[in-house]
């Protein structure tokens, strides 16, 4: 039986976003609002940056509102008009990225007007955006969501969230499976996955934490990482990416969603998150921290690796 997810409140959420976006733009509280509008295809949704109250009527929120819009507030997206405070629609997972960006001094809270979404989940993929949301096509991150109601926003539509159906974490199960393999088997698995990589860098471009003005992979003096889509360069890139996000990635899973080759990238991120939780009792995205566990030293840190 297909387990349908109750998202009947998304219509009300969308209407609340339209009203609030029109109000804050109309009153001059913000100069732009980053949100979602409908696309051409049935059920499709796309990010939109609106700058006038009149445009607010186009805004929507559905199970296809998958994007983490925080990427539009990062240095990598300098083209977005930044003449004043910016409104942004955030799901709980998206907010974690903003919290991280604040901790890394990329954004300041007072620059933002946060419209939070009481979220019951979104689609894993937007290849078929009109599909009704079920346990089968629900984004894996939503199965283990701990932030259905984003906290500390400027506005959250008042809605009684339907009680979520408890679902098993597919990431935890898959990580456990991979941990159970021998190193050679695990290496074979990742080699096969990375062999599909075409170096389109969609994973990098949608990541709110990939805000380096020039990525290591785009530098050629020195050439740290081979640029061609071959085993050496692909593996190097995905290891660099996983390590650079350790302790920072809060699991929006956009990298995995957008990968046109279906490489399970968030598995690497979740594995890193698991290590950080075990080693440092640290979870990214809940509080504005200036320093994460990998950028500081504390005496109680695990030192068992020093032999």
Binding site for other proteins (CB under 8 A): 39-42, 44-49, 67, 71-72, 76-77, 79-80, 126-128, 192-193, 195-196, 198-202, 204-206, 218, 226-230, 232-233, 254, 257-258, 260-262
**Least distance from other proteins to the Cβ atom of residue 167, Å:** 21
φ/ψ (deg, to 5) at 126:
-110, 20
**Least distance from other proteins to the Cβ atom of residue 118, Å:** 23
If you search the block for the tokens 């969308």, which residue do you land on?
Answer: 14
**Least distance from other proteins to the Cβ atom of residue 258, Å:** 4
For residues 128 and 277, which CB has a smaller minimum distance to other proteins in the complex?
128
If you search the block for the tokens 């500390």, which residue do you land on?
Answer: 152
282 with 292: CB under 8 angstroms? yes
For residues 64 and 272, which CB has a smaller minimum distance to other proteins in the complex?
64
**Least distance from other proteins to the Cβ atom of residue 90, Å:** 16
At residue 82's C-alpha, the angle toward residues 96 and 98, to 5°, is 5
**Least distance from other proteins to the Cβ atom of residue 73, Å:** 13
For residues 175 and 202, which CB has a smaller minimum distance to other proteins in the complex?
202
For residues 30 and 276, which CB has a smaller minimum distance to other proteins in the complex?
30
d(CA 39, CA 144): 28
For residues 8 and 228, which CB has a smaller minimum distance to other proteins in the complex?
228
For residues 171 and 247, which CB has a smaller minimum distance to other proteins in the complex?
171
For residues 196 and 291, which CB has a smaller minimum distance to other proteins in the complex?
196
d(CA 197, CA 269): 17
For residues 47 and 292, which CB has a smaller minimum distance to other proteins in the complex?
47
**Least distance from other proteins to the Cβ atom of residue 76, Å:** 8
**Least distance from other proteins to the Cβ atom of residue 69, Å:** 10
**Least distance from other proteins to the Cβ atom of residue 201, Å:** 5
150 with 112: CB under 8 angstroms? no
């Amino acid at each position: 039986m297909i387990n349908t997810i109750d998202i009947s409140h998304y219509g009300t959420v969308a209407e609340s976003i339209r009203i609030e976006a029109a109000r804050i733009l109309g009153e001059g509280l913000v100069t732009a609002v980053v949100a979602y509008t409908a696309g051409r295809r049935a059920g499709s949704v796309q990010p939109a940056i609106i700058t006038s109250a009149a445009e607010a009527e186009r805004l929507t929120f559905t199970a296809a509102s998958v994007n983490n819009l925080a990427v539009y507030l990062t240095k990598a997206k300098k083209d977005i008009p930044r003449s004043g405070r910016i409104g942004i629609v955030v799901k709980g997972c998206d907010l974690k990225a903003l919290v991280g960006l604040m901790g890394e001094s990329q954004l300041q809270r007072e620059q933002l007007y946060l419209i939070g979404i009481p979220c019951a989940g979104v689609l894993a993929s937007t290849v078929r955006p009109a599909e009704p949301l079920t346990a089968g096509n629900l984004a894996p991150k939503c199965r283990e969501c701990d932030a259905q109601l984003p906290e500390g926003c400027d506005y959250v539509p008042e809605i009684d969230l339907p009680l979520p159906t408890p679902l098993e974490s597919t990431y935890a199960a898959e990580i456990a499976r991979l941990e159970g393999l021998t190193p050679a088997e695990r290496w074979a698995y990742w080699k096969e996955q990375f062999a599909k990589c075409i170096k389109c860098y969609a994973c990098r471009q949608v990541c709110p934490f990939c805000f380096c003005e020039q990525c290591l992979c785009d530098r050629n003096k020195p050439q740290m990482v081979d640029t061609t889509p071959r085993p050496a360069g692909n593996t190097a890139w995905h290891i660099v990416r996983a390590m650079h996000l350790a302790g920072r990635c809060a699991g929006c899973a956009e990298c995995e969603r957008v990968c046109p080759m279906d490489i399970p990238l968030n598995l690497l991120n979740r594995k890193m998150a698991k290590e950080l939780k075990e080693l440092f009792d640290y979870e990214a995205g809940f509080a504005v921290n200036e320093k994460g566990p990998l950028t500081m030293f504390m005496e109680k840190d695990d030192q068992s690796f020093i032999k």
